[in-house]
Amino acid sequence: MKAWDRFVRSFSYALQGIVHTVKTQRNMQIHVTAAVLVLAAAWWLQIPRSDVLLVFFSIALVIALELVNTAVEAVVDLASPDWHSKAKIAKDASAAAVLVVAFVSVVIGIMIFGPPLYQKMSEWFLS
């Protein structure tokens, strides 16, 4: 197999992982929906490019950790089909990583979107 074929195949596998996670994980569906809404709001509010880059980074980090969380859960379920305290720790810790990054992303979102959203609402209600 040529190097290019292996390269393309690796992207195919990665895309399959994303598609599987979006189709099967409710939290990933929520993250993707929130990302689309946040990016639409960034366009609507004309958020500066540097702030949009921070939003993109936050979105990518949340989605990446959700993918890792899905992988950890799958491996733990495969290795330990019965309940085990260490399996619970692994699953809970990977879910907690997503929660931490999602929380920080919300804080970043409030700081970036708060002032322009407040300005837009003030224009609507005070005019």
Catalytic residue annotation: 66
Residues 6+ apart with CB under 8 A from 39: 52, 55, 59
DSSP letter at 46 equals T
Phi-psi region of 2 (alpha: psi -120 to 50; beta: other; left: phi over 0): beta
